[in-house]
Amino acid sequence: MKRALMILGLMLWSLEMAGAAELRVLTFNTWGIRDGRDKRARFELMPGAVAELGPDVVLFQEVFEDWEREALNSGLVKAGYPADGFRYFPLRSYGTGIYFVSRWPIADERMEPYESFRRPENKETLGRGMAGFRIKAPFGDFLVVTTHITPGNLADLSRSEGMLEFYGLSKFIYEESARTGVKNVIVGGDLNADPNKLIYNIFPALTGFSNAFPATHNQGFEPTVDRRENGYALMGIEAIDHIFFGNLTGAAFGLKPKSAEVVFKRRYLSASGKKYFLSDHFGVLAVFETTNDAPVIKDAPITYSPRLTIKDKDWLFQNLRQGTNLDGSPDLWQHLAVAVLANQDRSKDRDAKLIAAANKLLVHAAGKRGFKPGNEDLKILQAWVEKQ
């Protein structure tokens, strides 16, 4: 009997291994902005460099001009990518230079602007938005969501805009999963968020998603912008390009990272005989496998209602006033953070200090103790609760 059970177990294991499939995802900021250096030479080199890696899905950012898209398109079609596997969203339609490529059929797609770019006064500026795609792979359907988060600048030193974009992105992902019924999700792009900063930690705290790179590197990171290694990168040593994954409750299969690496770290030889880096960024390639033991996300904070009950408000007000119990009742603290972010996302008069305080509370409640809100943060949150 034991021998028969062992044989059956081996047979099931063999079938599972035989059924495992692989998914290769690449994200890459091309530095296709107007004053990007050596653009012609770099864009001519990109398709060959991408094809060497063999990604099934490519998430490009900062592809703005027609000739840039044509260079990528023609080169990748020659490399075997299907002519109908390319998607672009114009700048004024909130594209932020997103150019999406898939080896497999794109069954559904949706592009949405971030909340601030729905306003008429912002529509002629550098549009910011997020794109979602339902991909029909041989092993089953999965969702890919990509974006380019607003970088820090002198007008937004607190990164309020980027923080609220992470809220919008998180909401969009769960909406798309509910709309399409697809529960396996990949999220990637130039997120302009280094893991040491508060802004990076907002997204996993809201969604429960995991980053493929630290998941396969003992929780370590490697810079994707590095002025020491790349002559185009004039400043910064940061990991700001990322690929996340999440398997939601009810997923037909699981996606689990096998490997991840920072790519395009060398110069490439052009037809003229000169060598070029491909961009001021490096890329990230993540390889996933389908498996039955991938982690599943159950109740993510982004799914909480943006409204608070009277009972919740009373409890939160008392504990904020006393500065107590911040390490307990994480669901309630995260519920408060989501309510604040939802309110601020819709507001034209955004409060940078309130947004930062809510996100510190959110991230702290998710277990990142290095971002504990201070007394001033608690007073700001208390005043907001009192007004509700």
Pair (220, 334) in one structural domain: no
pLDDT, mean of residues 164-190: 98
State pLDDT tens for residues 26-51: 999 999 988 899 999 999 999 999 99
State pLDDT tens for residues 54-78: 999 999 999 999 999 999 999 999 9
- Are the C-beta atoms of residues 134 and 167 closer than 8 Å to each other? no
Q: Check whether 356 has a pLDDT greater than 60.
A: yes
Q: Concatenated DSSP letters for 136-202?
A: EETTEEEEEEEEEPPPP-TT-TT-HHHHHHHHHHHHHHHHHHHHH---EEEEEEE----TTSHHHHH
pLDDT, mean of residues 282-288: 98
In which order are the strands placed within the sheet that holds 184-190? 106-113, 129-137, 140-148, 184-190, 241-247, 210-211
pTM, entire model: 0.93
Residue-averaged pLDDT of the chain:
91
Q: Which residues are CB-contacts of 328 (< 8 A; sequence separation ≥ 6)?
A: none
Pair (281, 373) in one structural domain: no
Cα–Cα distance list, 240 to 37, 127, 211, 286, 376 (Å): 21, 20, 12, 15, 29
Single out the residue in 259, 291, 323 at which a domain terminates. Answer: 291
pLDDT, mean of residues 98-122: 86
Single out the residue in 269, 291, 313 at which a domain terminates. Answer: 291
Q: Check whether 307 has a pLDDT greater than 80.
A: yes
pLDDT, mean of residues 348-355: 94
pLDDT value, residue 96: 81
State pLDDT tens for residues 222-235: 999 999 999 999 89
State pLDDT tens for residues 229-261: 999 998 999 999 999 999 999 998 999 999 999
Q: What domain range is 68 assigned to? A: 20-291
* % of the chain with per-residue pLDDT over 90: 80
How many domains is the chain built from? 2
Judging by DSSP bridges, how do beta strands 237-238 and 275-276 pair with one another?
Answer: unpaired
Domain CATH for 104: 3.60.10.10
Single out the residue in 291, 316, 331 at which a domain terminates. Answer: 291
Tokens representing 287 are 């390889």
State pLDDT tens for residues 115-150: 877 665 544 455 689 999 999 999 999 999 999 999
